A and B are shown apart, each in its own frame.
Chain A
Amino acid sequence: MPLCRMENVTKTYHLGNQAVEALRGVSLEIEQGEFVAIIGASGSGKTTLMNIIGCLDVPTSGHYTLAGREVSNLTDDDLSLIRNEHIGFVFQSFYLIHYATVFENVLLPTLYAHRGTDEATKRASGLLELVGLKERAKFKPNQLSGGEQQRVAIARALINDPELVLADEPTGQLDSKTATEIMKILAGMNDEGKTVAIITHDASIASYARRTIRMEDGLIV
């Protein structure tokens, strides 16, 4: 069974009385353990697709099943729980909580978790070590470089041990050397069995993935 399975998914946004068809019938399967890159022109629907994969948004029509569960019947609370337990997000602008320390940022998802979090602080230290920021645990995000902030965001994405890691242009604000470091970390996670999907405009970044999905005008081509 594929981890993600989309069938003829559409997504239409309404801006006033104008409808924008961001996805126009997308079918897609992502297997457990894959490393997928989503590429395409600006406005082609990549972020929309990723938001649906990550249960941040629901399709207008069509079916989406995540780990065998049909998402369209779930409540907002169910979706929150799925995001918390099964999905890790990494964003282009890092999105750390600026008034919390690095360590607290990494721990943040455990706050909303249902399952036991006794091991959480230990795991957080381990993850900070993994991304090479152990000494920065007490820092505030604005005391870190962009690359360091993105590594904190990755640690945060991994704290609840999700099956699926979604990264929307994770290297978009970083120089190529830092981008390479970030990609190595993401590739390492894939090696350990996590399913990873990234959006990128950069062919060299896309080359880390084993499969490339190209989007054009709301469709996979």
Chain B
Amino acid sequence: MKRLAGIIKQAMKAVTAYKVRSFFCLISVALGISSIAIIVAATEGAYKRAFDMVGRFGPDSLLVVGGSEESRAIGRQRKTIKLAYVEAVRQAFPTAYVVVPMTFVGDTVVSYKNKKHQTRVIGSTADYSRAWTWPVIQGSDLVEEDIKGLRNVGLIGQELSRELFGEMDPVGKYILVRRIPVQVVGVLAERGITGAGHKLDNRIVLPITTVMRKLVNETQYITAFRVRFLDQANLKAHEKELRLFLRQEMGAPDDEPDPFRIISPTAIIKFLVALSGSLIAFIGIAGIICLIVAGFVLANLFLLSVKERTKEIGIRRAIGARRRDILVQFLGESVIVTTLGGMVGFVLAIFGSRLLTYIAEFPMHFSWKAFAMGMGLSWIVGITAGMQPASRAAQTEPIEAIRE
């Protein structure tokens, strides 16, 4: 043990003595490790974001949106969901404790005095806050009377509130939604963006009746509805049942695709992971190539170093070092260099990921996993690349080494 500690100390001295060699090995390892650490952090970040979003979406929830995948892609009409289905679903699924219809109206100009902002209008039933687990932080939620009475009242998101009212308290104020005056009764908490990149905080929530009759002049069709189930564990089964149920309700022929889409927590996770996946794969390949190159750089520089230090090896052997001691020293030098490289790489990764987050809004999450992965890989590189030069050093015959 004391011998090992002593030999490692010698290795550390050599690492600081042969600065150029150490520097180049360290940098090349650091580059590889930093890309790998970024990947781990990005993967973790993507998952973390996905789970955050699922958390907000509701892990027990499904969202049914009108229009098939295809019609959505080409921007055609999406009116396939009738308001009547909502009640039918409520009847058919006893564990569905929330079934709420919604109507979205995009790109609507809202104004307060001379301030204007383009926003999204959501028509909802009472208890919007409860259905989406989305707190109302000022004022109060929509109530049943608002819906029944087609009242001109609304909840606004943080961004809209900022744009129209700045620091003022919006509750009680009247704003114009297109030409309709609406009184703000509540302000929703900050919510961020969805997986698909929609800004959730730029919206106004009105009673669905108000939106359908007064804004879009529609009696039958709604944009979407949301279902929450008491038995979250059976969500997958419910999704299947709901799909069949709706196809039947709509009378969709067997050979046609669904005239609606069901968004589930797993779909959100899949979508996000696929989104991050390509960038992660790219950095991953770059990182692995970097590490392989680093390994070759290290192996070659160390081989040169072993040749240059033949006399040192000879003298160590002459004064009693065993082959194994020489091996440990050179392998130690290599692992010390790659460990330092790994640490520098980790620091680089933290800066690099800041940049990525800044330019691509890429979610990053650094945890001990990224660090452990970086360290583990740097040791693997240190040992595999350092092994050949080190065993070459250990095989050096003392009399050859010290011949003058």
**Selected contact of A97 from candidates B6, B16, B312, CB within 8 Å:** B312
Complex contact B402–A91 (CB within 8 A): yes
**Which residue on chain A has the smallest CB distance to residue B320?**
A84
Complex contact B320–A100 (CB within 8 A): no
Given known A51-B399, A111-B7, contact A83–B318 (CB-CB < 8 A)? yes
**Selected contact of B318 from candidates A56, A76, A81, CB within 8 Å:** A56
Rounded to whole angstroms, the CA-CA distance of A100 and B159 in the bound complex is: 66
Is B322 interfacial (CB 8 A cutoff)? yes
Q: How large is the interface on A (under 10, 10 to 19, 20 to 34, 35 or more residues)?
A: 20 to 34
Rounded to whole angstroms, the CA-CA distance of A213 and B3 in the bound complex is: 39
Which residues of the partner chain A approach B315 to less than 8 Å between Cβ atoms?
91, 95-97
Q: Which among B17, B315, B319, B321 has the greatest number of chain A C-beta atoms within 10 A?
A: B319
Q: Which among A47, A54, A93, A97 has the greatest number of chain B C-beta atoms within 10 A?
A: A97
Is A89 interfacial (CB 8 A cutoff)? yes
**Which residue on chain B has the smallest CB distance to residue A48?**
B399
Interface bits A45-73 vs B (CB < 8 Å: 1, else 0): 00100010010110000000000000000
Interface bits B1-18 vs A (CB < 8 Å: 1, else 0): 011001100100110111
Complex contact A76–B319 (CB within 8 A): no
A65-113: which residues lie under 8 A (CB-CB) from chain B?
76-77, 80-81, 83-85, 89, 91-93, 95-100, 104, 108-109, 111-113
Is B317 interfacial (CB 8 A cutoff)? yes
Complex contact A112–B399 (CB within 8 A): no
Which residues of the partner chain A approach B6 to less than 8 Å between Cβ atoms?
111
**Which residue on chain B has the smallest CB distance to residue A172?**
B404
> Is chain B's interface secondary structure helix, strand, loop, or mixed overall?
helix
Rounded to whole angstroms, the CA-CA distance of A91 and B3 in the bound complex is: 25
Complex contact B7–A93 (CB within 8 A): no
Complex contact A112–B323 (CB within 8 A): no
**Which residue on chain B has the smallest CB distance to residue A92?**
B404
**Which residue on chain B has the smallest CB distance to residue A114?**
B3
Rounded to whole angstroms, the CA-CA distance of A56 and B13 in the bound complex is: 26
Rounded to whole angstroms, the CA-CA distance of A95 and B403 in the bound complex is: 11
Interface bits A33-54 vs B (CB < 8 Å: 1, else 0): 0000000000000010001001
**Selected contact of A112 from candidates B17, B18, B325, CB within 8 Å:** B325
Rounded to whole angstroms, the CA-CA distance of A112 and B4 in the bound complex is: 9
Complex contact A80–B322 (CB within 8 A): yes
**Which residue on chain B has the smallest CB distance to residue A86?**
B320
Complex contact B320–A80 (CB within 8 A): yes
Which residues of the partner chain A approach B311 to less than 8 Å between Cβ atoms?
95
Rounded to whole angstroms, the CA-CA distance of A174 and B320 in the bound complex is: 27
Rounded to whole angstroms, the CA-CA distance of A95 and B318 in the bound complex is: 11
Is B314 interfacial (CB 8 A cutoff)? yes
Complex contact B319–A100 (CB within 8 A): no
Complex contact B3–A111 (CB within 8 A): yes
Given known A56-B398, A92-B404, contact A108–B319 (CB-CB < 8 A)? yes
**Which residue on chain A has the smallest CB distance to residue B315?**
A95
Q: Which among B314, B399, B403 has the greatest number of chain A C-beta atoms within 10 A?
A: B399
Rounded to whole angstroms, the CA-CA distance of A92 and B319 in the bound complex is: 15
Rounded to whole angstroms, the CA-CA distance of A95 and B316 in the bound complex is: 10
Q: How large is the interface on B (under 10, 10 to 19, 20 to 34, 35 or more residues)?
A: 20 to 34
Complex contact B319–A112 (CB within 8 A): yes
Which residues of the partner chain A approach B403 to less than 8 Å between Cβ atoms?
47
Given known A56-B398, A112-B3, contact A81–B319 (CB-CB < 8 A)? no
Rounded to whole angstroms, the CA-CA distance of A108 and B312 in the bound complex is: 12
Is A156 interfacial (CB 8 A cutoff)? yes
Rounded to whole angstroms, the CA-CA distance of A100 and B7 in the bound complex is: 13
Complex contact B14–A81 (CB within 8 A): no
Rounded to whole angstroms, the CA-CA distance of A112 and B6 in the bound complex is: 9
Which residues of the partner chain B approach A91 to less than 8 Å between Cβ atoms?
315, 402, 404
What's the least CB distance linking B308 to chain A, in Å? 11
Which residues of the partner chain B approach A76 to less than 8 Å between Cβ atoms?
322-323
**Which residue on chain B has the smallest CB distance to residue A153?**
B315
Rounded to whole angstroms, the CA-CA distance of A117 and B2 in the bound complex is: 10
Given known A83-B318, A85-B320, A99-B14, contact A93–B325 (CB-CB < 8 A)? no
Rounded to whole angstroms, the CA-CA distance of A111 and B312 in the bound complex is: 15
Given known A111-B6, A111-B7, contact A99–B13 (CB-CB < 8 A)? yes
**Which residue on chain A has the smallest CB distance to residue B7?**
A111
Complex contact A89–B312 (CB within 8 A): no
Complex contact B399–A84 (CB within 8 A): no
Complex contact B404–A93 (CB within 8 A): yes
Complex contact A113–B402 (CB within 8 A): no
Rounded to whole angstroms, the CA-CA distance of A95 and B315 in the bound complex is: 7
Rounded to whole angstroms, the CA-CA distance of A95 and B6 in the bound complex is: 20
What's the least CB distance linking A26 to chain B, in Å? 17
Complex contact A57–B399 (CB within 8 A): yes
Interface bits B303-345 vs A (CB < 8 Å: 1, else 0): 0000000011011111111111100000000000000000000
Which residues of the partner chain A approach B320 to less than 8 Å between Cβ atoms?
80-81, 83-85, 109, 112-113, 160
Rounded to whole angstroms, the CA-CA distance of A34 and B327 in the bound complex is: 37
Complex contact B14–A109 (CB within 8 A): no
- For the complex with contacts A57-B399, A80-B323, 16 further pairs of A-B residues with Cβ separation under 8 Å are A56-B318, A56-B398, A56-B402, A77-B322, A77-B323, A84-B320, A89-B318, A91-B315, A92-B404, A93-B404, A97-B312, A99-B13, A99-B18, A109-B319, A156-B319, A160-B320
Residue numbers of B with Cβ under 8 A of A are 2-3, 6-7, 10, 13-14, 16-18, 311-312, 314-325, 398-399, 402-404
- 15 residue pairs of the A-B complex, CB under 8 angstroms, read A56-B399, A56-B402, A77-B324, A81-B322, A84-B320, A89-B318, A91-B402, A92-B404, A93-B404, A95-B318, A95-B402, A98-B17, A99-B17, A100-B10, A117-B2
Q: 6 smallest A-B Cβ distances: which pairs?
A: A84-B320, A99-B17, A112-B320, A111-B6, A109-B319, A95-B315
